[in-house]
Structure 1
Amino acid sequence: MVSIKDLKFRYSKRQSPLFEELSFELPSGSIVGLLGKNGAGKTSLLKLMVGLLKPTEGSVRILDQQPSARQASLLQEIYFLPEEFHQPSISIRKFVKANAGFYPRFDKELLKRLLADFELPDNKQLNQFSYGQKKKFLIAFALSTKCRLLVFDEPTNGLDIPSKAIFRRVMAGSLDEDQLVIISTHQVRDVENLIDRVLMLEQGKFIMQKDLHDIASKLQFATTSTPHGENVLYHEMVPGGYKVITPQTDGSSSVDIELLFNAISNGSEKLKEYVK
């Protein structure tokens, strides 16, 4: 689905490269979490994948096509929901009528169900919605396109707690096996039960590319009363004790992605052999 090889990108010749020799492949049928600190290059990487930016060197291919060529045959298979957006002064009905035709697999019945789930009236002007309501509509529309590649930049920003729960439910229940979803977010708790694979960016390079199944088979995440112990690879103080990461001992574990991200970002040497 997504194939990036030896990617090099800089915004201008006067600037240092944001990415150098970045390579990875992502198959369909999964939900990928793209994580990183501010300035790590997450949004730029998303824009390279959807064709809004062009590589300086190397290749970016989606469904074996170059997204920067902006071919209609590929654009109809990609939907990008940016963190910042503008909504026109039209109703949902008119927006759908004007835009659904660009996506051959658009599912109107799915959109109807998602709008009901998000409690959005389809006859109200989009510019009259709150930011959270606008975000819910765009999420619903994106899922209804049934595009092969769905790219979301901070999709849960602006959503209240009930809406975040609905987002997780509709995301899990609205995807087909031939689709790939990439979610870039700082709100890891909002999406960690959805994600199959984690990509962690730091200073333009991946410091981790792992399936959650692989992580769960190697590492155990728990809360304890003490951070000490020869098997503790990383710990953080929390109310009532400590969150710790230790080597896996019983063969199964629920991965705490936020704790893992903090551990790797803080350069925990003990963890390197488990996530490389």
Structure 2
Amino acid sequence: MSLAELPPALGAENLTKKYGRRGRTALSGVNLAVPSGRVIGLVGPNGAGKSTLLHLACGLTEPSAGSLTVLGSRPAASASHLARVGFVAQNTPVYGSLTVAEHLRLGASMNPSWDPDLAKRRIGEAGLNPARKAGQLSGGQRAQLALTVAAAKRPELLIFDEPAAALDPLARQGFLRNLLEFVRELGASAVLSSHLLGDIEQVCDYLIVLCDARVQVAGDTRDLLAEHARLVAPRAEFDRLPAGVEMISAEHRGPHGSAIVRARGLSAPPPYRVEPVSLEELVLGYMTRAAGAPLAGAGAGEGSR
């Protein structure tokens, strides 16, 4: 079966999640159809709903409304479906009192598709002493152990919730490199939640920007970069943008301004100047719009649209 014939890695229809008696909304009306075979970057500010979406995908919590599918089925629909998903939670949790070898034995006892050769090889490549307790490992080593345990069950989808946020730059680079190696070796899809845009840019080919409990934009990273640009012009010109141009966010300083806009193949005449946009600028543009932040340098009552 080709990737095009596979069900979406993640599929959501009007997905909503509320917490508590007052109904705090963590996700609201989320719609997604993320293709399989991709490394998906999930980005957004703290409290945007990223962890909630991943917990729903792992079957750790239930939606308040709407629906979510993972690999074409309801999350955690059965033991066999659970075996198809590997999850590494925040801070790459491991059992401090267990040795590296005991982690592998525990993984083998809980997962019928466990690959002992893969686990042993990857532990060796990471330089982990099988007899050493996890509580004695460095942060980077614990991350490598958690990654190995998740991947050795040979899942079709790997889910990572801020796995490298607490790691130093060298350990984070090693973790991301091994993440990609596992994805290629397993032929799996992966979802990486992170607020570190450099990590997302380094490993992800599909992007989801989640802010204010809603998906702001989602799609193939290259396509999104091609569909967005920075428009630079005298400030007054932003009141009459070219037809078909969607304003994402804008910044005005003095008589001139620049805006992140969406319009494929934009070619605007003077006085406009069109420049390529970086992934960081694209993400920050949507985050700014979702937050309703005022334009930099703008007077009272003016804001990005």
SS of match in other structure, 2:19: coil
1:120 corresponds to: 128
**Cα offset for 1:265?**
1.4
In structure 1, list runs of 5 or more residues that go unmatched. Answer: 222-226, 237-242, 270-276
Correspondences of 1:70-85 after superposition (within 5 Å): 71-84=78-91, 85=93
Q: How many residues of Structure 1 are paired with residues of Structure 2 in the alignment?
A: 255
Pairing partner for 1:203 from 212, 215, 228:
212
Distance in 2 (CA, whole Å) between partners of 1:193 and 1:254 is 18
**Cα offset for 1:153?**
0.7
Verify the 8 A CA contact 2:100 2:133 in the aligned structure 1: yes
User: In the alignment, residue 165 of structure 1 is paired with which amino acid?
Assistant: Q
1:172 aligns with 2:180: yes
Q: Which has the larger radius of gyration?
A: 2
Distance in 2 (CA, whole Å) between partners of 1:266 and 1:114 is 41
Verify the 8 A CA contact 1:40 1:201 in the aligned structure 2: yes
Verify the 8 A CA contact 1:8 1:55 in the aligned structure 2: yes
Distance in 2 (CA, whole Å) between partners of 1:249 and 1:58 is 35
2:155 corresponds to: 147
Deviations 1:11-52 (A, max 9, x none): 134224322221112222111011111111110111011000
1:259 aligns with 2:272: no
Pairing partner for 1:191 from 197, 200, 206:
200
Pairing partner for 1:163 from 164, 171, 185:
171
1:21 aligns with 2:43: no
User: In the alignment, residue 193 of structure 1 is paired with which amino acid?
Assistant: Q
Q: Which moved more, 1:161-170 or 1:100-109?
A: 100-109
Verify the 8 A CA contact 1:135 1:158 in the aligned structure 2: no
Q: Which moved more, 1:99-108 or 1:37-46?
A: 99-108
Correspondences of 1:81-100 after superposition (within 5 Å): 81-84=88-91, 85-100=93-108
Distance in 1 (CA, whole Å) between partners of 2:27 and 2:259 is 32
User: In the alignment, residue 83 of structure 1 is paired with which amino acid?
Assistant: Q
**Cα offset for 1:194?**
1.0
Correspondences of 1:29-108 after superposition (within 5 Å): 29-67=37-75, 69=77, 71-84=78-91, 85-108=93-116
TM-score normalised per structure 2: 0.72
Pairing partner for 1:213 from 219, 222, 226:
222
In structure 2, list runs of 5 or more residues that go unmatched. Answer: 1-8, 239-246, 252-257, 267-274, 293-305
SS of match in other structure, 2:20: coil
TM-align CA RMSD: 3.1
User: In the alignment, residue 12 of structure 2 is paired with which amino acid?
Assistant: I
**Residues 229 and 106 of structure 1: CA distance in aligned 2, closer, same or farther (over 3 Å):** farther
2:298 corresponds to: none
Give the % identical residues. 25
SS of match in other structure, 2:16: strand
Q: Which moved more, 1:192-201 or 1:55-64?
A: 55-64
**Residues 106 and 256 of structure 1: CA distance in aligned 2, closer, same or farther (over 3 Å):** farther
SS of match in other structure, 2:289: coil
Distance in 1 (CA, whole Å) between partners of 2:137 and 2:283 is 34
Deviations 1:76-100 (A, max 9, x none): 1111111143514121111111212
User: In the alignment, residue 15 of structure 1 is paired with which amino acid?
Assistant: G
**Residues 158 and 14 of structure 1: CA distance in aligned 2, closer, same or farther (over 3 Å):** closer
Verify the 8 A CA contact 2:228 2:276 in the aligned structure 1: no
Verify the 8 A CA contact 2:12 2:69 in the aligned structure 1: yes
Distance in 2 (CA, whole Å) between partners of 1:201 and 1:244 is 20
**Residues 123 and 214 of structure 1: CA distance in aligned 2, closer, same or farther (over 3 Å):** same
